[in-house]
Amino acid sequence: GAVVSQHPSWVICKSGTSVKIECRSLDFQATTMFWYRQFPKQSLMLMATSNEGSKATYEQGVEKDKFLINHASLTLSTLTVTSAHPEDSSFYICSARETQHQPQHFGDGTRLSIL
């Protein structure tokens, strides 16, 4: 089946650091990738939709300058949390799909802890 690889799986860093998370589709071309954030006991909240070669579409309330998304190829999207602060600590997970009619394939997620 389709595999999406997400790295790193766990990050602990100091406040003010920028953190980059990678999401790769390993055996298919992902025209669209999605970045989600999950708070404890809540559902997956979509942060942004990333289309290859174009700017990401951010959801309301998500700061685009804070969460930089790059989708430079059909197999790679990156999320950079810039100048991270403790309130950015969360679980971030990406997904990818080939077409609108197919399910999304998820990475394993990244647990981000900002001290």
Partner 1 sequence: ILNVEQSPQSLHVQEGDSTNFTCSFPSSNFYALHWYRWETAKSPEALFVMTLNGDEKKKGRISATLNTKEGYSYLYIKGSQPEDSATYLCAFLGAGGGNKLTFGTGTQLKVEL
Residues that bind partner 1 (CB under 8 A): 4, 6, 32, 34, 41-44, 46, 49, 57, 59, 93, 95, 100-109
Taking the complex as a whole, the smallest distance from the CB of residue 76 to partner 1 amounts, in Å, to: 17
* CA gap 24, 38 in Å, rounded: 20
With CA atoms as reference, report the closest residue to 20 among 80, 97, 91. Answer: 80
Nearer to partner 1, 23 or 84 (CB): 23
Nearer to partner 1, 17 or 98 (CB): 98
Taking the complex as a whole, the smallest distance from the CB of residue 41 to partner 1 amounts, in Å, to: 7
Nearer to partner 1, 14 or 41 (CB): 41
Pairing mode of beta strands 105-106, 76-81: unpaired
With CA atoms as reference, report the closest residue to 4 among 43, 36, 30. Answer: 30
